Structure 1
């Protein structure tokens, strides 16, 4: 219960800090930088060396990749049918194709499944969401905005990204069964613990409630896919067709149902792919996802 209270309290604090001008208008940039480069990196080094790898761990990693490729297929076809322009199609793909597996995912999974659930979140987030965004995501924004990044530039972005470096280090430690000294492990735990409150304050400070106006239909289509249809696809594929169950599968489905990713929306906006629509996906998608995530969690508890 305390984790649920923390979730709503920190989001509210973020909104209040922005409205009271205590937090600068772009204060979330600094918070995001700390969470991504320090807090998430610490979580990687704390949890991943302790994971016992088996074939079932493919399922959480696959969630992010299935998300973006299904969004590309659906909205490339739907966008042409509805007469959307190129930048609109690109914006919807980017916002509906990536889930908020860290800024919203970590606090939610921590609240529902405890800290043990964060091991699975790290797999969804790092080899899943981050690598998919850094490769397929960059290719999508380049195509729909008309700009171009070479394969070498994309590779440099991946290699130089601190959480990805620490992810590779954590995998190395796991493979060779190297145990991090207890004192250092405690430091990583404390740094990782900053992820939830800082991420939620950042999310709260970025929430904007505006009228969708001409973006109503693409916004509704994107959110319907992201919050309902895509997790339904994962549910049918993982639970009904492949007959998988257990906490790893439950967390994979919950991560599939997360709100649109803030980073992918920022990436799309920075390439002039309908910035207002991208902001709407975040401002409306995050609070709405708290309701739909609750519904998905109740469904899973009935299995």
Structure 2
């Protein structure tokens, strides 16, 4: 309960700060860098070396790939059928195809499932969401914005992305059964713990609500896919068809139901893929996801 109070408190503080005259709203960029350069690497270095490797790891890792692959098929087919502008199709593929599995996902999973749940959340996020963001999402953004994909730039972005580098280091540590001493582990935990207030404050500072827009229909379609259809498919596949029943599967389903990723919205906007719709996917998707997440949490407990 304390974690949920923390989540909503800093989210609300961020929203309030938007209306304080003179407050530097752009400070969210610094907060994002703190999360990306310090908190996410610390979490990876603490949790991944402790994960017991098995075939079951494929289930949480597969969540983000299912989500993005489904988004590409779903919206590209609809785009062709209804002759949507390419930029609209690209915007929906990216913003509906990538979930906020770290900024929102980590704090929520931490609150619901504790440290054990975080081990699964890291797997959904690191080899899943942000690897896709750094590769296939960039390709989609380049193709649908009519720009030519630059293979060198894609490789460069992946190679120098701090969480990706620490992810590789942490995986190597896991393979060789190596972990840090108690002091370093405590430091990593402390750095990781500051992510929740910082991330939620950043989200609050970035939330935008537009009441007048021509994108309402597409917003509804994008959020329907991300918040309802994807977790429903993951639940059907993992629980009903494959008969998987564990806390890790519950976490994987919950992560699949997270709101659209803020960084994905930024990527779409930077490539000119319907910036207002990209912003609306975040502005309406995050608050709405708190309602749908409670629904999915009830479902996975059955």
Matched with 2:130 is 130
1:37: how far off?
1.1
Count of residue correspondences: 302
Q: What secondary structure is seen at the aligned counterpart in 1 of 2:215?
A: helix
Gaps of 5+ in 2: none
1:250 equivalenced with 2:250 (yes/no): yes
- Deviation of 1:283 (Å): 0.2
Which segments of structure 1 move beyond 4 Å, counting only runs of 4 or more? none
In 1, distance between residues paired with 2:172 and 2:19?
44
Structure 2 counterparts to residues 146-161 of structure 1, below 5 A: 146-161=146-161
Match of 2:262 in 1: 262
Verify: 1:213 aligned to 2:213, yes or no.
Answer: yes
TM-score (normalizing by structure 2): 0.98
The match for 1:66 is 66
Displacement of 1:128 in angstroms is 0.3
Equivalent in the alignment of 1:39: 39
Shift of the 23–32 alpha-carbon distance from structure 1 to 2, 3 Å rule, reads farther
Match status 1:139 vs 2:146:
no
Equivalent residue for 2:203?
203
CA contact (8 A) 2:98 2:260 kept: yes
Tell me how far 1:212 sits from its aligned partner: 5.1
DSSP-derived class of the 2:135 partner: helix
User: How much has 1:149 moved relative to structure 2?
Assistant: 3.1
When the two chains are superposed, the root-mean-square deviation of aligned CA atoms in Å is: 1.1
Q: Is the 8 A contact 1:64 1:99 kept in 2?
A: yes
TM-score normalized by the length of structure 1: 0.97
C-alpha displacement at 1:23, in angstroms?
4.4
Instruction: Give the secondary-structure state (helix, strand or coil) at the position aligned to 2:245.
Output: coil
1:231–1:253: 8 Å Cα contact kept in structure 2? yes
Q: Spell out, residue by residue over 1:25-60, the C-alpha distance to the aligned partner (whole angstroms, 9 max, x if none).
A: 211111001101110000000111111111111111
CA contact (8 A) 2:17 2:25 kept: no
- CA–CA separation in structure 2 for the residues paired with 1:95 and 1:101: 13
What CA distance in whole angstroms lies between the structure 2 residues aligned with 1:179 and 1:288?
39
Question: 2:67, 2:21 → 1: CA distance?
Answer: 37
Partner deviation per Cα, 1:62-94 (whole Å, 9 max, x = no partner): 111111111010101112223321101111111
